[in-house]
Amino acid sequence: MNLTLTEILFFVLSAITIISGALVIFSRNPVYSVLYLIVTFFAIAGHYILLNAQFLAAVHVIVYAGAIMVLFLFVIMMLNLNETTEPKTALWSKFAAVIAGLTFLPLLVGALKTSEAVVMTQPQNSDIGLVKTLGQVLFTDYLVPFELSSVLFLSAMVGAVLLGKKSTEETN
């Protein structure tokens, strides 16, 4: 089996992603979970670079591995979470969760089994992930969603202020 460099990188990155993703769930200490999550995010950013999407990779690292992770760590340290404070889940609810999860697993596995084997191809247009191409698409084809997402962010911002500020007058 001859593997190209891209394929080797793909498999290595995939292995890192899956293993660190599993470790996020299985570590008992929430701080470790967050650190493994950072590894996962970096591995996914690597996948983006393999797909020739440098901009997406950079944004992914800055936003997820940077900003969101800091928030996570901040919250965990504020609440002083550790193994001892972890709430005990009842056995029956663990049981129910496992069953609910396992009913979805065969569906996904079966769905992927029926589909054709995935063939790895290079993107036809090698500039597809560059900032220039992205900007062009964003301001032509996707102009409407781009502009309307400002409404989404505005309402999220107003909502955060509304919930965060000290209320002087209460609503009825």
Partner 1 sequence: MKAILVLTSLGIISLLAEIFRFRRALYPIVILGLMGAIATTVSYWWYDDGDFAKYFGGMINFEDSSVIFSTIIISTGLLWFLMSDTFFNKENPRTDLVALVLFAMVGAVILTCYTNMAMLFLGVEILSIPLYVLAGSRKDSLSSNEAAFKYFIMGAFASAFLLFGIALVYGATGSFNLGVIGQVVEAKKEVLPGFFMVGVLMLVVSLLFKVSAAPFHFWAPDVYQGAPTHVTAFMSTIVKTAAIVAILRLFLSVVFDDITSFWMPVILVCVGITFVVSNVSAAVQNNVKRMLAYSSISHAGFLLLAVGAFNAYSAKAIVFYTAAYSVGSILAFAVLTNVIKDHTGGPVESFNGLGKKNPFMALVMTIALLSLAGIPPTAGFFGKYYVFNAALQAGHVWLVILGIIGSLIGVYYYFRIIIAMYFKDANEEASVEPSKQHQLVMFVTAVIIIVLGLLPDLILGIGSAAEVVAAK
The residues that touch partner 1, with contacts defined as CB under 8 A, are 107-108, 110-116, 140-145, 148-149, 151-152, 154-156, 158-163, 167, 169-172
In angstroms, what is the minimal distance from the CB of 92 to partner 1?
A: 17
By the 10 Å C-beta count (0-12 exposed, 13-18 middle, 19+ buried), 49 is classed as middle
Instruction: Please state the closest distance from residue 1 (CB atom) to partner 1, in A.
Output: 25
Nearer to partner 1, 120 or 144 (CB): 144
Distance between CA 73 and CA 96 in Å, rounded?
Answer: 30
Q: Which is nearer to partner 1, 22 or 157 (CB)?
A: 157
**Closest CB to partner 1 among 78 and 108?**
108
Q: Residue 104 carries which side chain, given as an amino acid letter?
A: F
Q: Minimum distance from CB of 157 to partner 1 (Å)?
A: 10
Q: Buried b vs exposed e over 1-20: b needs ≥16 C-beta within 10 Å?
A: eeeeeeeeebeebeebbeeb
Question: Of 80 and 114, which has the nearer Cβ to partner 1?
Answer: 114
- For residue 57, count CB atoms less than 10 angstroms from its CB and return exposed for 0-12, middle for 13-18, buried for 19 or more: buried
What are 155's two structure tokens?
Answer: 């309402």
Shortest spacing between CB 72 and partner 1, in angstroms: 15
